[in-house]
Chain A
C-alpha cells in the first residue's frame, strides 16, 4: 500500500502546482513581509540629522562631534546658534540638536574627578515621531557617553541589539505568522475543499484510511513551508543582517516543530468546518488575531491586561516567537529555550491527537 501513499502525495503536489496564483502568493508573502517590516516599517534610529550648538568649540566638544559624525546612524549637520534650534527642528533640517554647556571641558574633568555637577549637555529632540525620538535619544546618549560613562546615574547598555534595529524583533514575529498562514490555512482549505466539492465522499468509500489521506495532504504543504522557512532565514541573515548568533540549526529545528503544529491546527479546523469560506475565516480571524495581538509580536506580553496575558499562554505563536527571538538575537542555543520547545511539543501532540480523533471516516 506504499504505492498509493506516494500517489496521494503526487496528487496533492499537482493540486498545488496547478494553482499557480496561490503558489505565487505563498512564496511571495514572506518576502514582501520581511522587506516591509525590515525596511519600510521601522522604528529604529537611522539617518538622524543632528545639529550642534556649542558656545565654545573646545577639544571636548570637537571630540564628541567627531564620534557622532563617524557613527553611521547620525549625520552631523553643522554648528548652529541658540536662536536657530527651533527653526531647524521645525523645518526638519535636524531631528535632534545637541546643546553643549560653555564649560563642557571643565565639567567633564570635574566629573572624571568624581565631583557631582549639573548636566553638561542638553538634547533637544523632534518628538513628532515618538518611537524614533525615543530610540534616537537613547542611542545618542550612549554614543556621547562613550568613555565618560560616569555622567549618568544609570548606566544603560543595550545588549544584543544596541542599535535597536526593529527588523530583529520583527523577524521571529513574521515567522510565527507566516507558518500559521501557509500551513494551517492552506491545509484546512485543501481538506475542506474535498468535502465541499464532494471528492471526500469518494475518498471515504475506498479501503484507504482517512489518516493516510490527511497525512499525504500535509506532506507537500510541509515541503512548501520548509522552502519558505529557508527563504525567511536567508533573508533575515543576509538582507536584514540578523545575527543568528544562537546558531541557525536551533531556529530551524524549532521551526520544524512549529510547522507540524501549524499543520495540525489546519487539520483541526478542517474537522470542524464544512466550507472553504469558513475554513478561511477561522484561520484568519481565530488564528491570526491572537498571533498579532497576543503573541508578543506587536505588543509585549508584559503590557497586556491580566486576562489577555493568561489567554496568551495558549497561543502557540507566543512560545515560538519568544524562543526564536532568544535564539536569533540573544544568541542562546536551543537548549536554553527547552521550556518553549516542550510546550510547543505538547501542544502539537494534543492538537494532532484531537483532530485525528475528530476526523471522521463517515459523513456525520
Chain B
C-alpha cells in the first residue's frame, strides 16, 4: 500500500481548474516533491489531501484512508505545514510547541527524539515570541509543530519560500534526516534546484502533472543536446539563434541563453549563420530540471 494514492483528482474554483485530473502515488518513506510555478495547483492539491477541501471528482487515499470518507482519521495521522507562517506570533516558541502537542494529544517529551534534529536549532530561543524569529527559524518551528504528534505522512507546502539560501539547504538536510526515520514526505517548491534532493518529483503546471520520475531520470529524459550561449547583445543573439538551423528552442536561462538543438545542428555552421554577433561564446552544458520543465510546458 502506498502512503498517498491519488486517482483522477480534480478541483475547480469558479472557472479555473486548480487541480485537473491528477493521478500519482507516493510510496511509504519517500521524499516526494511537487515542483511547479505559482498557480500550478500545488496548494490546492495539499488542501485536498489534508482534507481541508473536498474534490469535485476523483478520489485519493492518505495512509490508507479516503480523503472524503475518513477525513477525520486522516487529520490525526498527517502533519501539515501550510505555505504561509501559521503559528501564533504572540506566543513563545515553547508555548507554540506545547499548544500543538496538546492539539494532537501528544507529549513534547515523547516526541522529542523525532523533532530534535529540527527543534535543537531553535531551542535556545524557546522563550522568544514566534513573531520575532527569523524566517528560517520560523520554518523550523513550524516543522517542529507539524511533527510533534509523530505523523506518518508529512505535507509541507512551499516550506522554503522566503527563506535564505543557507537555511534552505539546512531545511533540506533536516528533511533527509526525517526521511531516514521512515516518514513519508510530500513537499512542494517553486525552486527547481531543490527538486534534486527529492526521491521522486512531479512537475506540474496549471493544475496538471506534466511528468513524474526521479530527478535524474527526468534530466536524462531531456534527450537533447544543450548549449549555453552568450554575447554582448543578448537580445539580438536570442532573436538570431531561434532562427538558426537545427535549433529547436532558445530561451534565457540565468546569465546565458540555453540552446536546445537536434541532430542537424553543428556548432561551426551555427557560428557562421549568426554572422556578426560580437563576443559570441558557446559551451556545451548539462540539462537541468528547469530545461525539462520548459520543454514540457510547450
Contacts and interface: CB of A to CB of B under 8 A. Distances in A.
Range class of the B interface residue count: 20 to 34
A362 B51 contact: yes
B53 A364 contact: yes
A263 B99 CA distance: 24
Contacts of B211: none
Given A203-B103, A206-B104, 14 more contacts: A4-B103, A8-B99, A11-B91, A14-B90, A14-B91, A197-B88, A201-B52, A202-B86, A204-B75, A205-B75, A207-B75, A362-B51, A363-B47, A363-B53
Interface string B21-51: 0000000000000000000000000010011
A334 to B, nearest CB: 39
Chain A CB within 10 A, most for which of B47, B54, B85? B47
A24 to B, nearest CB: 16
B117 interface: no
A45 B150 CA distance: 71
B93 interface: no
B80 interface: yes
Contacts of A230: none
Given A206-B75, A362-B52, A15 B90 contact: yes
Chain A interface SS verdict (over half)? helix
A199 B87 contact: yes
A364 B51 CA distance: 11
Contact of B88 (A4, A6, A199, A204): A199
A205 B75 CA distance: 5
Contact of A205 (B50, B54, B87, B99): B50
A3 B82 contact: no
A15 B92 CA distance: 11
A21 interface: no
B102 interface: yes
A203 B80 CA distance: 10
A199 B52 CA distance: 13
B249 interface: no
B289 interface: no
A18 interface: yes
B91 A205 contact: no
A1 B105 contact: yes
A19 to B, nearest CB: 7
Interface string A278-320: 0000000000000000000000000000000000000000000
Interface of B: 47, 50-54, 72, 75-76, 78, 80, 82, 84-91, 95, 98-100, 102-105, 145
A205 B90 contact: no
Contacts of B103: 4, 7, 203, 206, 208
Interface in A183-206: 197-199, 201-206
Contacts of A197: 86, 88-89
A346 B259 CA distance: 74
Contacts of B90: 14-15, 18-19
Contacts of B105: 1, 3-4, 207
Nearest to A213: B103
Contact of B76 (A3, A201, A206): A206
B169 to A, nearest CB: 25
Contacts of B95: 11, 14
B86 A199 contact: yes
A7 B98 CA distance: 8
Nearest to A17: B90
Given A15-B88, A198-B85, A4 B102 contact: yes
- CB-based closest 3 A-B pairs: A7-B102, A207-B76, A198-B86
Interface in A1-56: 1, 3-4, 6-8, 11, 14-15, 18-19
A7 B82 contact: no
B82 A11 contact: no
B82 A198 contact: yes
Given A4-B105, A11-B91, A362-B51, A202 B76 contact: no
A198 B43 CA distance: 13
Contacts of A8: 99, 102
A3 B84 contact: no
A255 B141 CA distance: 42
Interface in A245-259: none
Chain B CB within 10 A, most for which of A19, A205, A362? A205
A208 to B, nearest CB: 6
Contacts of B76: 206-207
A207 B88 contact: no
B53 A202 contact: no
14 contacts: A7-B98, A7-B102, A8-B99, A8-B102, A11-B88, A198-B82, A198-B85, A201-B82, A202-B100, A204-B75, A206-B76, A206-B103, A362-B53, A364-B53
Nearest to B85: A198
